[in-house]
């Protein structure tokens, strides 16, 4: 993951943690990200991976194109997608045409399955401070 993408994710998470930690529990619950906001954050994260390539059916795509593709797949499958986890499983992990997993190929050559990577990012988004 690029330094800019890590910085953007860290800033987003830090702001959310600070907002939630500074409020009474009832208000904090109201500010917890919705599933739609989580999905949007995951897509934005992919779009921010400037030095990475999104590999779909053995073809590399840049981060911006990958984000557009994931958004389109989400739109096409909204009836089946209720949660960010559903989004990862239904739209962002494997090709519905070939069954091949989507990959994220980083600049240094490391490849990860898109679904596994996005599950880790979702965990980070959902982290809450201890009370």
For the chain, 131 residues long, give each residue's pLDDT as a single digit of tens: 566 655 555 555 444 444 455 545 544 444 568 999 999 999 999 999 999 999 999 999 999 999 999 999 999 999 999 999 999 999 999 999 999 999 999 999 999 999 999 999 999 998 844 33
Containing structural domain, residue 11: 3-126
Q: Is the pTM of this model over 0.85?
A: no
Domain count, the chain: 1
Residue 41 CA: distances (Å) to CA of 6, 24, 59, 62: 13, 24, 24, 18
Residue 19 counted as domain residue: yes
Residue 51 counted as domain residue: yes
Residue 131 counted as domain residue: no
């Amino acid at each position: 993951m690029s330094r800019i993408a890590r910085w953007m994710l860290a800033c987003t998470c830090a702001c959310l943690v600070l907002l939630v930690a500074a409020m009474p529990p009832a208000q904090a619950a109201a500010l917890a990200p919705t599933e739609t906001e989580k999905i949007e954050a995951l897509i934005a994260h992919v779009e921010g991976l400037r030095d990475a390539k999104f590999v779909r059916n053995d073809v590399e795509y840049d981060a911006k194109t990958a984000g557009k593709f994931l958004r389109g797949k989400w739109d096409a499958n909204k009836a089946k997608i209720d949660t960010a986890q559903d989004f990862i499983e239904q739209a962002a992990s494997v090709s519905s045409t070939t069954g091949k997993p989507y990959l994220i190929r980083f600049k240094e050559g490391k490849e990860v399955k898109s679904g596994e990577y996005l599950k880790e990012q979702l965990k980070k988004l959902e982290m809450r401070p201890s009370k």
